[in-house]
Amino acid sequence: MIILILIKFITLFLENKLSEYWGYHLHLDCGECNKELISSKENILAFTKAIIKAIDMVQYGETICEHFATHDPSKGGYTMLALIETSNLSAHFVESTGEAYIDIFSCKPFDIETAKEVVGDFFQPKTIFQNYLLRKAY
């Protein structure tokens, strides 16, 4: 019984602490992704819909997904931007190296592990370096 009370207290404490922040910003640097998957606009668009649903966000408008940096093949690939009611998701996919750089920024908390699972399902990275920022201007 004491353990359950302690768990409840810790949960409430963390919820109150997290609510002190204005935003939550996850950066995922993914290495050795499946090059075919990160080179597919259709896959990137499907990923965007899936991750927004999985982390319980609401999309605003259509996803922008365009191929950029064709002047430098070492950096070329698709860039994605999706607005959500609580901020945005963005990503750049480097086709030559199999890298993906994905950012999720929201004023609504979301589950990091769920986001990473969706990234894994759609791009199959062998490595994911994670950086998570709690945003607050004061």
Domain containing residue 127: CATH number? 3.60.90.10
Please report the pLDDT score of residue 73 as a whole number: 84
Please report the pLDDT score of residue 3 as a whole number: 65
Does residue 17 belong to any structural domain of this protein? no
Does residue 9 belong to any structural domain of this protein? no
Please report the pLDDT score of residue 21 as a whole number: 80
d(CA 116, CA 97): 20
Amino acid at 12: L
Report the number of distinct structural domains present in the chain: 1
Does residue 4 belong to any structural domain of this protein? no
Does residue 99 belong to any structural domain of this protein? yes
Residues 6+ apart with CB under 8 A from 41: 65, 67, 78
Instruction: Give pLDDT < 70 ranges for the chain.
Output: 1-19
The parent domain of residue 71 ranges over 22-135
Please report the pLDDT score of residue 54 as a whole number: 98
Does residue 14 belong to any structural domain of this protein? no
Please report the pLDDT score of residue 122 as a whole number: 98
Does residue 43 belong to any structural domain of this protein? yes
Does residue 15 belong to any structural domain of this protein? no
Please report the pLDDT score of residue 20 as a whole number: 75
Does residue 41 belong to any structural domain of this protein? yes
Q: Report CA-CA distances (Å) from 80 to 39, 54, 135.
A: 12, 18, 22
Structural tokens at position 138: 């004061």
Strand residues in the chain grouped as ranges (E): 23-31, 59-68, 77-84, 87-94, 99-106, 127-135
Please report the pLDDT score of residue 30 as a whole number: 98
Please report the pLDDT score of residue 12 as a whole number: 45
